[in-house]
Amino acid sequence: MSDLKPALEAVLMVVDEPATEAHLAKVLERTPREVADALHELADEYTSQGRGFELRRVAGGWRYYTRAAFAPAVEAFVLEGQQARLTQAALETLAVVAYRQPVSRSRVSAVRGVNCDGVMRTLLQRGLVEEAGAEPETGAILYRTTNYFLERMGLRGLDELPELAPFLPEAEAVEPDSLEGVPSFDPDAPDREDDDKTEV
């Protein structure tokens, strides 16, 4: 078993989902029993040594996880540089998605009056919006806010979003599903807003 443990460690370092004992045994050409024993020994060793990671058996397989005691260190590393505030353009785009979801990029662009493709990509990367199927009539991809958006906003659900009416001047108020009174958008026209050219 001297070479089995290092082999298991190497394989488990690259898995993107829990690996089963049977699969590991097949790949490493060992018996399932040998693999199971080696995995349990590795898990015990990591715990007794107080390592920053642990080997867990989850969902019918095995995978490395960072140890809970070191979560603050991991969080600090992952979030470093990710706390940059959203630009005004991103906030406006996010608001349109939140109140009109599911909504297509072209509709968001029409509401804002500028091309918002770059900002939408940023919101997707930030995990604040996600794809929500396609529009039956046009086939355009639809977008909605995520659970992470609710978490960051401190909301239990979308029904807790504040009413828009108190924040809209009467002359600018429009029906939720209407684009009347909203600037038109020409997809071939150059961007008219610097913020939309900047990743956030």
The tens digit of pLDDT for each residue in 78-110 reads: 776 555 678 888 999 999 999 999 999 999 999
In this structure, the answer to whether residues 92 and 182 fall within a common structural domain is: yes
Q: What is the predicted pLDDT for the residue at 166?
A: 63
If asked whether residues 125 and 162 sit together in one domain, one would say: yes
Cβ atoms of 19 and 12 closer than 8 Å? yes
Among candidate residues 67, 98, 118, the one where a domain is terminated: 67
- pLDDT at residue 61 tops 50: yes
Same domain (yes/no): 56, 93: no
Which of 26-35, 146-155, 162-171, 173-182 has the weakest average pLDDT?
173-182
In this prediction the pTM is 0.45
37 in any annotated domain: yes
Distances in Å between the Cα of 185 and the Cα atoms of 16, 78, 106, 110, 129 are 42, 38, 8, 5, 22
CA atoms within 13 A on the CB side of 28: 27
Q: What value does the mean pLDDT take over residues 57-81?
A: 84
Percent of the chain at pLDDT exceeding 90:
44
Could you tell me if residue 153 is inside a domain? yes
Q: List C-alpha distances in Å: 18 to 45, 47, 60, 74, 114.
A: 19, 19, 7, 21, 44
Helix (H, G, I), strand (E, B) or coil at 132: strand
In terms of domains, do 156 and 93 share one? yes
> Cα(99)–Cα(165) distance, rounded to whole angstroms?
12
> Domain tally for the chain?
2
Structural domain range at position 142: 88-197
Neighbours of 94 (CB within 10 A): 22
Is the same domain home to 92 and 189? Answer: yes
Is 113 a member of any domain?
Answer: yes
37, 98: one domain: no
